[in-house]
């Protein structure tokens, strides 16, 4: 897979609920975390490409990216 590209599901199951991702370029305001690496940004216009991993999918922190990443590491 080329650098910066990623296969992103339209939704992801997270502790029994469905979480929708927001994509780079989409209008947004608030705090978001990269769904690939967990990097956090605060935006007021549109979501950027992740500066750490070039990811293009974002999620609000309330979806628990940190908890999900920790659970994945413990498996």
pLDDT tens profile 6-64: 444 444 444 445 567 899 999 999 999 999 999 999 999 999 999 999 999 999 877 55
Domain positions in the chain are 22-60
β-partners of residue 13 are 18
Closest listed residue to residue 32, CA positions, set 20, 18, 16, 15: 20
pLDDT reported for residue 73 = 62
């Amino acid at each position: 897979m080329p650098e910066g590209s990623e296969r992103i599901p339209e939704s992801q199951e997270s502790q029994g609920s469905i979480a929708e991702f927001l994509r780079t370029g989409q209008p947004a305001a608030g705090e978001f975390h990269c769904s690939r690496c967990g990097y956090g940004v605060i935006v007021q216009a549109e979501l950027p490409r992740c500066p750490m991993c070039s990811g293009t999918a974002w999620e609000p922190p309330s979806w628990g990216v940190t908890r999900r990443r920790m659970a994945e590491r413990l498996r």
